[in-house]
């Protein structure tokens, strides 16, 4: 009985003692040392923000067209008797080459008739002038005879008054005077008629000369010469074919220069003008349009899309299209490229041919601006490496974006460092190990100033 009672109380006592020992050991054990953990330090590439010479730029696209396109038409009707052997599509011919002749025989006959008529009228005028000279000489003689006869008449009258001669002698002398006066009047009238007759003949001569000149001009139009160095486009006639006046003969494309109407989105056109200083311009006057082109002062660089880097040319902005394309919201900028057939490199730099698709990059003059790389901007924010090398996330106000460049209006100060590499995770206050990206910065500054090769290197 006693043994059973002892067993009943011994087991709980043992359990309590064990629990007390465990609690004692736990309470008496020193506390565990905790190590304070923080964010790991991130190595990042940075660049220093500063104002750099920046050339705003934008690229438009268009097709190449010859600056001069001649669509030759026949100005006279006739049979084609000669066509230059190289008057074929794609051929090149120098300026002044006779490329086509129309049968001239009919016009040569007409020219001979016109010349013969002119010669006959000129002969008539010479004969009339000879007659006029003869009449003037005769008039001078008759006037002299009249003077002598008038003196004789006065002498006979004086004698008659003295009753020394008969009255019939006086009447005879008076009759001679009247006859001479009649001759003078007739000759003077004849001389006056010469003036009108000569005027009529001179008018006929002038008309005949005009007719000769017109016939010569028409005869000259039977021979077609190239007005410029040109490549031949389509040819519409063949030798022996009769062509009416006004019919198309061939198409010639000038090789001295080409034009490209580059369609540029209007949103990209404004940045080219933002930082340029312009005075007010009066576009109502024709010279106002030229003034605005001079004021814009854009450089144009042309390259062929899909061709190697060597396929590029320097262009000149000529004019701006008269309207905006409402469907594409673009403005056309017309650029001229001189000597598009020079310095051709087969397989690398072809000539600029009609229909080629070209990209035209426009560059504004350099302006000091706060420019950062596009990859440094994350939804309107940039990551700044503070002076204590911790991350700061900052919102910035952007003036405009252009390709790999972002022009900042507000939010950054010169001398601050921005992160241009990826940061994971992006947490405010993240400790950083900034590394200056010197090579990238050099390429970035050169590209911002308009160096195409530096821009391509920066994109790689």
pLDDT tens for residues 311-350? 889 999 988 887 888 888 888 999 999 999 888 888 888 9
Alpha helices, H only, 29-71? none
Residue 94's closest CA among 238, 223, 225?
225
Residue 236 has a CB neighbour count (10 Å cut-off) of 15
Other Cβ atoms within 10 Å of 294 Cβ, number: 9
Contact of 429 with 390, CB cutoff 8 Å: yes
| Res 67 pLDDT > 70 | yes
Q: What pLDDT does 328 receive? A: 87
Which helix or strand (DSSP H or E) is residue 338 part of? Answer: strand 330-338
Return the ∠ at Cα 413 (arms to 408 and 419), rounded to 5°.
75
If you average pLDDT over each of 177-191, 407-421, 441-455, which comes out highest? 407-421
Q: Which two tokens stand for residue 316?
A: 């000149």
Reported as a pLDDT band with limits 50, 70 and 90, residue 384 is very high
Strand order in the sheet with 98-102: 223-225, 98-102, 78-83, 242-243
**How would residue 1 be classed by pLDDT, with cut points 50, 70 and 90?**
very low
Of the candidates 417, 419, 316, 406, the one whose C-alpha atom is nearest the C-alpha of residue 370 is 406
Residues 14-26 have a mean pLDDT of 67
Residue 358's CB is within 10 A of a number of other CB atoms, namely: 24
Distance CA 171, CA 182 (A): 16
CB count within 10 Å of CB 444 equals 23
CA distance 64 to 69: 12
Give the predicted TM-score (pTM) of the model: 0.68
pLDDT for the residue 433: 92
pLDDT at residue 38, as a whole number: 60
pLDDT band at 193 (very low <50, low <70, confident <90, very high): confident
- What mean pLDDT do residues 384-398 have? 93
Question: If you average pLDDT over every residue of the chain, what do you get?
Answer: 84
Q: What six digits make up the tokens of 375? A: 């990859």
| Least confident piece of the model among 47-51, 86-90, 139-143 | 139-143
Q: pLDDT (tens digit, 9 = 90+) per residue, 262-298?
A: 999 988 888 887 765 555 545 455 554 555 666 678 8
Q: What is the token pair recorded at 100?
A: 């086509």
DSSP 3-state of 400: strand
Backbone angles phi, psi at 424, to 5 degrees: -140, 120
pLDDT, residue 29, reads 65
Residue 337 is predicted with a pLDDT of: 95
Q: What is the mean pLDDT of residues 84-112?
A: 90
- How far apart, in whole angstroms, are the C-alpha atoms of residue 185 and residue 147? 14
**Helix, strand, coil abundance in the chain, percent, nearest 5:** 40, 30, 30
C-alpha separations of 75 from 78, 102, 240, 421, 446 in Å? 10, 10, 17, 71, 58
> Is 2 a residue whose pLDDT tops 60?
no
How much of the chain, in percent, has pLDDT values that exceed 70? Answer: 86
CA dihedral (245, 249, 255, 257) in degrees, to 10, reads: 50
**Statement: residue 459 has pLDDT above 80:** no
Is the pLDDT confidence value at 223 over 70? yes
Q: Among the listed ranges 104-113, 415-424, 449-458, which one has the minimum average pLDDT value?
A: 449-458
Q: Going edge to edge, which strands form the sheet with 51-54?
A: 51-54, 367-373, 405-410, 397-402
Band (378; pLDDT cuts 50, 70, 90): very high
At 64 the pLDDT is 95
């Amino acid at each position: 009985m006693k043994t059973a009672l002892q067993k009943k109380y011994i087991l709980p006592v043992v359990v309590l003692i064990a629990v007390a020992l465990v609690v004692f050991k736990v309470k008496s054990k020193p506390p565990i040392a905790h190590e304070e953990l923080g964010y790991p330090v991130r190595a990042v590439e940075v660049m220093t923000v500063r104002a750099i010479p920046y050339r705003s730029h934008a690229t438009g696209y268009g097709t190449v067209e010859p600056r001069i396109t001649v669509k030759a038409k026949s100005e006279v009707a006739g049979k084609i008797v000669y066509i230059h052997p190289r008057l074929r599509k794609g051929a090149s011919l120098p300026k002044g080459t006779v490329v086509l002749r129309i049968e001239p025989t009919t016009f040569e006959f007409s020219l001979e008739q016109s010349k013969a008529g002119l010669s006959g009228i000129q002969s008539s005028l010479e004969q009339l002038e000879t007659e006029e000279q003869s009449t003037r000489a005769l008039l001078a003689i008759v006037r002299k005879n009249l003077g002598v006869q008038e003196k004789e008449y006065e002498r006979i009258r004086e004698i008659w008054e003295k009753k020394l001669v008969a009255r019939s002698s006086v009447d005879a002398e008076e009759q001679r005077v009247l006859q001479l006066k009649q001759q003078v009047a007739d000759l003077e009238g004849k001389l006056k008629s010469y003036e009108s007759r000569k005027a009529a003949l001179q008018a006929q001569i002038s008309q005949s000369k005009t007719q000769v000149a017109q016939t010569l001009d028409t005869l000259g139009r039977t021979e077609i010469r190239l007005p410029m160095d040109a490549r031949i486009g389509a040819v519409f006639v063949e030798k022996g074919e009769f062509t009416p006046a006004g019919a198309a003969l061939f198409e010639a494309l000038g090789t001295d220069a080409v034009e490209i109407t580059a369609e540029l989105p209007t949103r990209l056109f404004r940045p080219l003008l933002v930082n340029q200083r312009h005075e007010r311009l009066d576009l109502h006057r024709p010279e106002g349009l030229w003034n605005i082109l001079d004021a814009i002062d854009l450089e144009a660089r042309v390259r062929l899309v899909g061709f190697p880097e060597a396929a590029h040319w320097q262009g000149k902005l000529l004019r701006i299209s008269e309207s905006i394309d409402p469907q594409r919201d673009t403005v056309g900028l017309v650029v001229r490229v001189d000597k598009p057939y020079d310095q051709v490199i087969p397989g690398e730099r072809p000539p600029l041919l009609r229909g080629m698709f070209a990209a035209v990059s426009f560059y504004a003059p350099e302006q000091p601006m706060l420019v950062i790389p596009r990859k440094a901007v994350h939804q309107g924010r940039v990551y700044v490496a503070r002076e204590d090398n911790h991350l700061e996330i900052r919102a910035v106000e952007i003036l405009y974006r252009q390709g790999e460049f972002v022009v900042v209006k507000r939010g950054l100060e010169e001398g601050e460092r921005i992160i241009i590499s990826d940061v994971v995770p992006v947490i405010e206050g993240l400790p950083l190990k900034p590394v200056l990206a010197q090579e990238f910065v050099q390429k970035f500054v050169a590209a911002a100033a308009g160096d195409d090769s530096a821009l391509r290197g920066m994109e790689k």
